[in-house]
Amino acid sequence: MFLAYALLLIPSAMINAASQELSGRDNDQFAIFVALFIGEYLIAIFLHEMGHAAAVLIAGWSVEFIAVFPLGYRLKTARLGWWLTPYADFGGVVMFRATHNRDRARWLSVVAAGGPAVSLVTGAVCTVMASALLDGAAATIVGSFGAVSFFIGLGNLIPFRVRGVRSDGAQLLFHLRQA
């Protein structure tokens, strides 16, 4: 788990460069850095969780609850609120109901891979956009967002378990062994 969070040091260095470019003054730089990091991290986690949700829907199952800490949305009651769930303390969670058991292990593998896949693709697309299409502060911000997304995807593929909750990588390995 430490390695997963240590991977965020690389995009944070890029965000630091973006904050320097956006801020002409040193006293504003830290505030801009914090705002960019938190904003980019939450958006990247949201997209990651949407990847899991899309995989659940592709499997033909139903999404019950989506959380990006500390916000959660309960789909059945269409209720948005502050949810303190032990499963979202590292960023986010998608809870779903498996309505069929056909190729269950294979579909659970697809669901586990959905989040990291979206994160890695988002990271690659943003990196290409930043290097080929944009320049200045926009390129730095899009590039740092790409780095955050990429390293969230990469970090989630590392198999680990915390308080009984498996990372996406650990779930993927577990379900691939059962398939």
Is the residue at 54 inside a domain?
Answer: yes
Domain ranges, residue 25: 2-61+104-178
Residuewise pLDDT in 10s, the chain (179 residues) = 444 445 555 565 555 566 566 555 556 667 777 788 888 988 999 999 999 999 999 999 999 888 887 777 777 765 555 556 555 556 888 889 988 888 999 999 999 999 999 999 999 999 999 888 878 878 888 888 999 999 999 999 999 888 778 899 999 999 999 97
Q: What is the pLDDT of residue 20?
A: 60
The beta strands (E) that lie in 88-155 are given as 92-97
Q: What is the pLDDT of residue 22?
A: 58
Is the residue at 76 inside a domain?
Answer: no
Q: Return the amino acid letter for 123.
A: G
Q: What is the pLDDT of residue 2?
A: 46
Task: Give the total number of structural domains in the chain.
Answer: 1
Is the residue at 56 inside a domain?
Answer: yes
- Nearest-angstrom CA–CA distance, 170 and 175: 9
Is the residue at 78 inside a domain?
Answer: no
Residue 8, classified by CB atoms within 10 Å of its CB into exposed (0-12), middle (13-18) or buried (19+), is middle
Q: Return the amino acid letter for 132.
A: A
Q: What is the pLDDT of residue 128?
A: 92
Is the residue at 26 inside a domain?
Answer: yes
58 vs 25, 44, 96, 108, 111, CA distance in Å? 48, 21, 12, 11, 9
Q: What is the pLDDT of residue 115?
A: 97
82 strand-pairing partners:
71
Is the residue at 72 inside a domain?
Answer: no
Residues comprising the chain, all counted: 179
Q: Is the separation of the CB atoms in 67 and 52 below 8 Å?
A: no
Is the residue at 89 inside a domain?
Answer: no
Is the residue at 86 inside a domain?
Answer: no
pTM greater than 0.85 = no
Q: What is the pLDDT of residue 122?
A: 97
